[in-house]
Amino acid sequence: MVAAASVAGTSPVRVVLLESSARLSQQPYQRKKLVLLLSAMRHYAALLRAQGYEVDYLHAPDFLTGLREHCQRTQPGHLFTMAAAEYATRQFQLTLPDALGLPVTILPNTQFLVGQFDPFPDAAPTRTVMMATFYRAMRRHFAVLLEKDGAPIGQKWSFDAENRKPLPRTLTPPEPPVNEPDLLTQQVMEEVVRMPNGIGDVTGFNLAVTHTEAAQLLATFLGERLANFGPYEDAMTMRSALLYHSGLSPYLNLGLLEPMQLIRAAEQAYHDGKAPLNSVEGFVRQVLGWREYMYWQYWRQMPALATKNAWNATRTLPAWFWTGTTDLNCLHHALTRALQTGYTHHIERLMLLTNLCLLAGVQPHEVNTWFLAAYLDAYDWVMVPNVFGMGLNADGGGIATKPYIASANYINKMSDYCASCRYNAKQRTGPDACPFNLLYWNFLITHEEALRANPRLGPAVLGLNRLTTEERAVIQQEALLVLERLGFHQAAEA
């Protein structure tokens, strides 16, 4: 999909919105995501027409074909388009003047704050800039949660240490809000059902498709879930997919909401006494810190970032990632949610899905392909740095200075998955041992030399000192059997 404004002489601005069949079929996308994108575009077109704009809404085999058809028919004098967030699309935009034979102005992308301010404009791709450093610079520049003297409110930049609690059994998160599909959305749903490939189905689609609906979801989050977001942002449970998360990333990444809109609203909730500082700061850090940092890293490291494989991973992604059919209870729930709804929160993505893929040695490009297909909020600019960098540490530590790996002990501590799983979360080896345990220790053994060189992993690697030579051999032998049994096979070209 692309939007541009074309001006023909002194005539009014004409807006062109384009649906590309090639782009829609690039991956077997989550069908609810396709409904969200297409319905949001068509609602936006209707809004622009109601405001008096002339809108040319096109369906074409690909972007270039559609734009050429538009230009031949309307003879614009100039084309304006916002800089694409994704690398390949922006490279395509640069070819448009020659391809269309008219002036093309690429305007700044307004969906990210680093487009307004780059905290480290001269940082080379090889320089390590930690997210904490980046986040502080962004907070200072945009004056977010600061005292009058410029110090952080609460005298700390991050309250992450207070935000690592499992969800108590006595606490029930509120039900996620819903938006009933209107006639236009229903028509889109019918179209998506007929599309040849995709993940999940359109049944139960209840997402926001307009700015107004998305703003109402933001207000609901502020009133019902922000206060408890902080303490339980890392919690995982079978009882709720959303917990106290906002669920707003699909709308933010689509442009139905803007980052500063979320940041200032959360900041105001703190000043109004409606949410504690640890929750507000944690939410602000996700938007102003993590999201902006990922976009910043994407553009300083592309296109090389999308080919990184620092741990020399050579295995394939199991077929059950595309079905959710597995006897690992935590992964069954996370995968089923992703495949059915297009959503799991960030800890399930990081500490379940990419954690297992890193431990199992799955090729990064396969993991990235799955994430791009499965999630509502997935776009190249966010998935490449998140999967190759933060999740799989495949970039060699340029984005995350240590690999995010964990055994079943972490999952058992932060969730209720392990209690009803057929595997034993406390067992390291044997037929009932949780694969996370076995693969965790196998990863430490396999990469011991490299891991010992990372000061942030000292305690974990030192645990290897307690293993005898015989125990190491058993772990490595059983790990190979488990990898094959679970379908993590060696790639043919490896």
User: Are both 114-174+225-301 and 307-485 of the same fold?
Assistant: no
| Distance between CA atoms of residues 475 and 478, nearest Å | 5
Assessment of whether the complete model's pTM goes beyond 0.75: yes
What is the distance between the alpha carbons of residues 377 and 290, in angstroms, rounded to a whole number? 14
Query: Hey, what are 376's tokens?
Result: 């509502």
Polymer length in residues for the chain: 494
DSSP state of 389: I
Average pLDDT over residues 238-245: 96
Instruction: Find the range with the poorest average confidence among 311-320, 397-406, 411-420.
Output: 397-406
91: Cβ contacts below 8 Å, ≥ 6 apart: none
Cα separations in angstroms, 215 against 291, 321, 375, 441, 486? 19, 33, 21, 46, 43
Q: Which residue bears the tokens 């410029």?
A: 150
Tell me the mean pLDDT in the region 109-113. 95
Instruction: Give me the sheet containing 104-107, strands edge to edge.
Output: 54-60, 14-20, 2-7, 78-82, 104-107
- 3-state secondary structure at position 6: strand
Q: What is the CATH number of domain 114-174+225-301?
A: 1.25.40.80
Q: Is 2-109 assigned to CATH 2.10.70.10? A: no
Q: What is the CA radius of gyration of the chain?
A: 24
* Alpha-carbon 427 to chain mean position: 32
59, 82, 208, 379, 403 from 1: Cα distances, Å: 9, 12, 18, 13, 35
Mean pLDDT of 260-274: 98
Q: Which amino acid is at 227?
A: A
Please write the tens of the pLDDT for every residue from 168-205.
999 999 999 999 999 999 999 999 999 988 999 999 99
Give percent of the chain with pLDDT exceeding 70: 97
Rounded Cα gap, residues 284 and 291, in angstroms:
10
What are the domain boundaries of the chain?
2-109, 114-174+225-301, 307-485
CB 378 within 8 A of CB 371: yes
For the cut 90, the answer to whether the pLDDT of residue 313 exceeds it is: yes
pLDDT of residue 9: 43
Q: How many angstroms separate the CA atoms of 38 and 23, rounded?
A: 12
Dihedral (Cα; 63, 382, 349, 341), 10-degree rounding: -30
Choose between 308 and 456: higher pLDDT.
308
- Backbone dihedral region for residue 166 (phi beyond 0: left; psi -120 to 50: alpha; all else: beta): beta
Q: Which CATH class is domain 307-485?
A: mainly alpha
